[in-house]
Structure 1
Amino acid sequence: MHNATWKPKQRTQHELCLKQLCFHAVREHIATLDTKALLDLPVVLLEDLVPHLTVWQLNKLQPALNHRGISTLSGWVRVLQDINGPQQSIVLYTEEEAKHEAMRIIFTSRFYGFIDDFTGSTLHSDTPSFLWMAAACIKEFVLMAKCHKPLQRLAAGQRPLLELLEKRIQSVGISQSIDMSNRMSQISLYVLHRLLDHGRAEEVAVHVQCPMVLAWLLHRRGSQYVMPELDRNMLSCISQATSASTYTSCSEEHDVIPRKRSNIGSVLTEADKGKLTVDPQALCQTFAAYDVPSTKICPWGQIRRLKISRCSSDSLRLLSAALPTFFCLHSLTLHSFSNFKDTDVLDFARALKQLSESSLSSLRDLSIGILPYTSFLEILLNANPKVMSLHVEIQTLTCGQLPQKLFRSAESELPAMPLEKLTVKLAEIQTDLQVVISVLKRCPHLTSFHVAGMRPPGGFSLGQLLTTLSEVNLCLTSLSLEDMKLCDCLPAILTLLSNPKLEEVRFSDCRLFEKGTEKEDGLKQLVVALKNLPSLQTLSLAQNRLELFSGSSPSSVKLLDISSNFIKPADLLKFAKRLQTHRPPHRLTLDLRMNPGDRDPDTWNTALRKLHLFCVVLVGGWKSTDSMVDHVSNM
């Protein structure tokens, strides 16, 4: 098939091969082809065709391709590369994750009328139906409150699109502040009301500092078991949020001059006077004038997952007031750019305890940062012992700690907890190792443990932590240790790796073999231990300054990350030859990024050619001319 677009005179010095010409022709003329005949092509050809398809074609053909066992992941990754640029590395997504991310970016750009910076061949389309196609695929809607016109069109002239979003959207993100004293904010609040109360959205992500909007979101969306106290608390929070004595503005600026505003508590009763209202029922009546006025009472949705990425002290206090009766909340994520105050965290812990004491509580996932002390890890677990997943980030700015009596009971009095996933990220000079060990001893059902930045005080060894994991946490399937000095902990590591349930092991930047004379012997012992783990599927030894390999590849591993290890081309070639002899039963994903392949390109490329036969190889990111890279490689 001839494609007029691809004429010989248009070719660069890199001539397009015949197969590529055919793929381009298929993409340009797919509408005239017999789809069934196309899908009957050999699987190998279809897999090579996928990255050349447009967004339209990928979306249309994906079900049939999946039915034949063909993934469209490479096509969606190509779309993301067209969007983000070829230099930006793409995170490894699943097929559906990559598709959703691509469609989310495309929809947001087209909906708000942004000029596309991405003009790749896979994205060529600018029809209204393209927006609808993307809308039918996304689950997350990003609300940009300052873009009034697109939101107004959605509320008025694009009712069918709004109804489609109500059926599809599961998560709503608020990326710009909403000034609730401005009449134009009613459009944003109306769209939020439709998605949260009339639609399926049960997750809210707030990316701005705006306690007033948070109060509006929480009002009557806390539980189907609404109690009078909750109604009054939420109305009180909204009223306080709009008074000049408490909050002055939802602006992200900190130097706003305070000014008085009307009390929202009274505004809620003045909708019939045509004044500014934030009451969802009144908003529905107002915007229904564009369509058919409705006398039905609006439903109230439930927020089951709440994320606040810029959580101020005001927002934390407001949430603490609402938390005791927030029975439908399953997951809560709070993050601040600076440390939370001790008193605010303690108040939050008390509210958390009140919630957990109710049989109606459903909170199981909690993520919070930045906490001022390691002690708060135990405080929060004691406040909600039913939590199944806990993620904390701790940054200690001083050498002090909270008084022991605030959080520490006799260890024999502390009950076991059902916690399954624990992540602790630390940024402090010294870590109270005993707090973390005490928590681990109370979590016999822990399946995932990730700790980063742990610095034990003098006289303590991280081997104590590893020994506790070996003796108590026998259900571990995922272990991730990051930015820790483990070069003197090899015996404890080998014992820990005897756990037959481990499926994922990550030692990232752990200085495993800093002692040069013992490096080769230690690595051999580690490889033997890993080979004896039949359940192991993911192994990361990134940033450990490994320069050689020993033994064959662990047969069960599907993903091996040995990035940033100063692996030399000659060593990689030896490794490739070993893998040829001991081929993994599954196609191995091998991460070799940030290794000095350009110091001997011929040997490096020879090794890569051998590896490509049975590996998905990730490379790049290293330039030997970069002085900083050279400095790191010689450390």
Structure 2
Amino acid sequence: MGDTVHRKGITLKEMCFRAVREHFSPQDSHSVLDLPRHLIQDLLPHLTVCQLYELQPALNQRGISTHPGWVVVLQDLRGHSFAMDVHTEEEARQEVMKLLFTLVFYGFRNHYVIKNSTNLKSQFFLRAAASCIRQFSLITGLQEPLQSLAAEQRPLLNLLEKRIQSVRISHGIDLLKRGTYAAVYVLHRLLDHGVATKLVVDVPCPIVLSWLLHGRGPQDVDLSLKKQMLSTKSSCDLSAIADGAICSPGLQTEASDDQENHVVPCKRSKVDSVSMEEQFLCGTFPQCDSPLGVCPWGQISGLEIEPCGSDSLRVLNSALPTFFCLRCLSLQSPSSFWESDVLDLAAALKQLSDSHRSSLTDLSIGVLPNAKLMEVLLDASPNVTSLQVEVQTLIWGPGFSPHHPQSATADMSELHLEKLKVKITALQTDLQFMTSVLRRCPHLTSLHIAGMRLPSGQSQKQLLTTLSESNHCLRILSLEDMKLSDCLSDIQNLLKDCKLEELRLKDCRLLENCSDKEERLQQLAAAVRSAASLHTLSLAQNRLAKDVCVLAELFSGSPESSVRRLDLSSNFIQPAELLEFATRLETRRPRHRLTLDLRRNPGDRDPDMWNAALTRLRPFCVLLVKGWKSTGTMVDHVSNM
């Protein structure tokens, strides 16, 4: 098939691809599958989402990935300047379907949905997307789509019930407002009848949180809040609830003179003596079809609350001591928690841990007002294996306690922590608290620290020395926004003492105040080559610029580096410098295909030279190159700082 140019600038091949897109049908899919491999690969970016979904299994059997097609859709959805971080076919498909399902299901419109409305309005698309996505966003302010899901689109709800693992509640739920009945029913089906075990709550309402938690994990919640929920029944006509209007499997909508979205239930008799008001408010659904006659209670193993205020935290603290099925907990606040709130949380976590029935392994808290509270939380939950915290130390912020009491003897008992991520926003940080935690974590395999600034005259050497001495199991190390320009020898020791597989040094000012930048990079390259286990290296945002050429030595000499992914993004690498790097690397080709991240570098300064460099790299590299516009002068300024 030739590339003869049509009079409007469209090649004959492109015209044929458009015809395939317009006239494709699943029954004739063999016509596409019988095409030569190179033509199928050229065709993929022209196909619709439904066509990609339909063809993917058969193409995979031929060894052809649909990843390029999904990436084109993702770029069209997000914009071509958006940096893509989807490296596999499944990741790309999941991301596309997640974005499109919510847009199409709730009737949101953007340029992609409008342009492809014919293909996306079909029930086939919704079913295809529902079979891929793992999270469902419950937007209670949009009643009509949820009413439809509970009625005529019941087969779609049945499919979601089998696939959805996480439910996100994005708007408030008025538990006694007739218009939210369908939303509560859908929530009940996914959480109590489906496979969903994770709940994401974006609603700062303690009453709703108490209702959500009751019966789905904790043995008890704040009784005063339960009474408060029940006391609200006087503000609403509960006769509709008593008549079974909440969770009928035969929900239908009909017009009403005095009530929009009136729900007509399929009634069944009560299954116990509890009033319907309490059954609804406490989460029971006796009207819902179940082979057991009574609805099951779906346990919550993952809970994320954002934003989490003091009232919501009080509800959670009352539930935590008996929340035995909870495995993952994430609490995020737009501003720092009060120190007293964090201490109350630690006390509740301690009760849960002391019960010896706790399943909690993953904990994420943001924002802590004091870095030392991190160790307080760890002491309260010594069996947690993954901790993620954000610390924001503001002099006049909430919870500031300059005279925070210290224990007479520091607890140095061993912790089970395997993954630790700490982001710090502070003018200065006491390094001792971090090294103290690290010495207690001999099983640590992954560490990410960002923003740790030390007082003038101090160095991060002690941090790296502690890792070399105490954390021999470390496999992933990510240090960000830290000064490491005087720590090269410590990095070299770390690479010798730990079997690191991933090393990320982002914005670590590696070459700052260095008289011979080339020699320093040569020493780093030699250390990386000697680390046989290292397959990922990130030097993003280190102002490498023209010195990037030295990194071609990673793949020369003996031993040759095992690195398969190299991140050089945001280093102000100009086209001539990339061409020199490509020329050197071409004579020292890596033994494995190298994923090379060149995003947010000024390739548009000389597009021809930049493309010439990319052409040299493509035979042995997977290239990531988006994300820069030189018209943004601030980008240039930041990259040169």
Q: Do they superpose with TM above 0.5?
A: yes
| Identical-residue share of aligned pairs (%) | 54
- Quote the Cα distance in structure 2 between the aligned partners of 1:321 and 1:293: 31
Does residue 208 in structure 1 map to residue 207 in structure 2? no
1:506–1:540 CA contact under 8 A, matched in 2? yes
Q: Which runs of 5+ in 1 are unaligned?
A: 244-260
1:553–1:579 CA contact under 8 A, matched in 2? no
Distance change (3 Å), C-alpha of 1:102 and 1:622? closer
- Quote the Cα distance in structure 2 between the aligned partners of 1:175 and 1:367: 20
RMSD: 3.0
Question: 2:554 maps to which residue?
Answer: 553
Tell me the alpha carbon deviations over residues 241-290 of structure 1, each in whole angstroms, 9 at most, x when there is no partner.
677xxxxxxxxxxxxxxxxx3489x989983698984734987456x6xx
Give the deviation of 1:41 after TM superposition. 4.2
Residues paired across the two proteins, number = 598
Give the deviation of 1:579 after TM superposition. 1.4
Between 82-91 and 576-585, the greater mean CA deviation after superposition: 82-91
Tell me the alpha carbon deviations over residues 22-41 of structure 1, each in whole angstroms, 9 at most, x when there is no partner.
43333333328754464354
Distance change (3 Å), C-alpha of 1:374 and 1:31? same
Between 350-359 and 83-92, the greater mean CA deviation after superposition: 83-92
Give the deviation of 1:473 after TM superposition. 0.8
Give the deviation of 1:71 after TM superposition. 2.1
Distance change (3 Å), C-alpha of 1:67 and 1:356? farther
- Quote the Cα distance in structure 2 between the aligned partners of 1:206 and 1:87: 31
Question: 1:414 maps to which residue?
Answer: 412
2:446–2:474 CA contact under 8 A, matched in 1? yes
2:222–2:315 CA contact under 8 A, matched in 1? no
Indicate which of 349, 352, 358 corresponds to 1:355: 352
Question: 2:152 maps to which residue?
Answer: 157
Question: 2:100 maps to which residue?
Answer: 106
User: 1:184 is paired with a residue of what secondary structure?
Assistant: helix
User: 1:510 is paired with a residue of what secondary structure?
Assistant: coil
Letter of the 1:238 counterpart? K
Question: 2:512 maps to which residue?
Answer: 514
2:475–2:501 CA contact under 8 A, matched in 1? yes
Question: 1:539 maps to which residue?
Answer: 537
Give the deviation of 1:328 after TM superposition. 0.4
Does residue 315 in structure 1 map to residue 292 in structure 2? no
User: 1:539 is paired with a residue of what secondary structure?
Assistant: strand
2:362–2:385 CA contact under 8 A, matched in 1? yes
- Quote the Cα distance in structure 2 between the aligned partners of 1:295 and 1:626: 63
Give the deviation of 1:94 after TM superposition. 3.0
Between 117-126 and 601-610, the greater mean CA deviation after superposition: 117-126
1:239–1:263 CA contact under 8 A, matched in 2? no
Q: Which has the higher contact order (CA 8 A, sep 6+)?
A: 2
Indicate which of 374, 378, 386 corresponds to 1:377: 374
- Quote the Cα distance in structure 2 between the aligned partners of 1:626 and 1:318: 47
- Quote the Cα distance in structure 2 between the aligned partners of 1:32 and 1:163: 24
User: 1:131 is paired with a residue of what secondary structure?
Assistant: helix
Letter of the 1:29 counterpart? H
Letter of the 2:203 counterpart? V
Indicate which of 140, 143, 147 corresponds to 2:142: 147
Letter of the 1:81 counterpart? Q
Give the deviation of 1:468 after TM superposition. 0.5
1:480–1:506 CA contact under 8 A, matched in 2? yes
Question: 1:442 maps to which residue?
Answer: 440
Question: 1:326 maps to which residue?
Answer: 323
Does residue 59 in structure 1 map to residue 53 in structure 2? yes
User: 1:460 is paired with a residue of what secondary structure?
Assistant: coil
2:393–2:425 CA contact under 8 A, matched in 1? yes
Alignment of 1:80-479 (within 5 A): 80-118=74-112, 119-120=114-115, 124-222=119-217, 226=219, 230=220, 233-240=221-228, 261-262=232-233, 271=242, 277=277, 279-280=279-280, 284-285=285-286, 296-398=293-395, 401=401, 403=403, 405-406=405-406, 408=407, 410-411=409-410, 413-479=411-477
Give the deviation of 1:453 after TM superposition. 0.4
Tell me the alpha carbon deviations over residues 358-417 of structure 1, each in whole angstroms, 9 at most, x when there is no partner.
2221110001100000011100110001001000000001286565645x4635x52111
Distance change (3 Å), C-alpha of 1:242 and 1:613? farther
- Quote the Cα distance in structure 1 between the aligned partners of 2:351 and 2:146: 39
1:539–1:561 CA contact under 8 A, matched in 2? yes
Letter of the 2:604 counterpart? D
- Quote the Cα distance in structure 1 between the aligned partners of 2:528 and 2:504: 12
User: 2:184 is paired with a residue of what secondary structure?
Assistant: helix
Distance change (3 Å), C-alpha of 1:354 and 1:129? same
Give the deviation of 1:462 after TM superposition. 0.8
User: 2:512 is paired with a residue of what secondary structure?
Assistant: coil
- Quote the Cα distance in structure 2 between the aligned partners of 1:263 and 1:524: 75
1:573–1:603 CA contact under 8 A, matched in 2? yes
- Quote the Cα distance in structure 1 between the aligned partners of 2:95 and 2:610: 34
Give the deviation of 1:42 after TM superposition. 4.3
Between 51-60 and 340-349, the greater mean CA deviation after superposition: 51-60
User: 2:25 is paired with a residue of what secondary structure?
Assistant: helix
Question: 1:632 maps to which residue?
Answer: 638
Distance change (3 Å), C-alpha of 1:283 and 1:111? farther
Does residue 598 in structure 1 map to residue 569 in structure 2? no
User: 2:171 is paired with a residue of what secondary structure?
Assistant: coil
Letter of the 1:410 counterpart? T
Give the deviation of 1:480 after TM superposition. 0.4
Distance change (3 Å), C-alpha of 1:64 and 1:32? closer
2:438–2:467 CA contact under 8 A, matched in 1? yes
Letter of the 1:507 counterpart? L
2:601–2:628 CA contact under 8 A, matched in 1? yes
- Quote the Cα distance in structure 1 between the aligned partners of 2:332 and 2:102: 25
1:171–1:202 CA contact under 8 A, matched in 2? yes
Question: 1:49 maps to which residue?
Answer: 43
Letter of the 1:592 counterpart? L
- Quote the Cα distance in structure 2 between the aligned partners of 1:394 and 1:576: 41
TM value normalised by structure 1: 0.87
TM value normalised by structure 2: 0.86
- Quote the Cα distance in structure 2 between the aligned partners of 1:278 and 1:130: 39
Indicate which of 54, 69, 75 corresponds to 1:75: 69
Distance change (3 Å), C-alpha of 1:269 and 1:24? closer
1:567–1:596 CA contact under 8 A, matched in 2? yes
Tell me the alpha carbon deviations over residues 538-584 of structure 1, each in whole angstroms, 9 at most, x when there is no partner.
11111111121214234422221111112232221121012111112
- Quote the Cα distance in structure 2 between the aligned partners of 1:32 and 1:175: 37
Give the deviation of 1:99 after TM superposition. 1.5
- Quote the Cα distance in structure 1 between the aligned partners of 2:244 and 2:135: 35
- Quote the Cα distance in structure 2 between the aligned partners of 1:594 and 1:105: 24
- Quote the Cα distance in structure 2 between the aligned partners of 1:439 and 1:293: 49
Letter of the 2:242 counterpart? A
Q: Which runs of 5+ in 2 are unaligned?
A: 246-274, 556-560
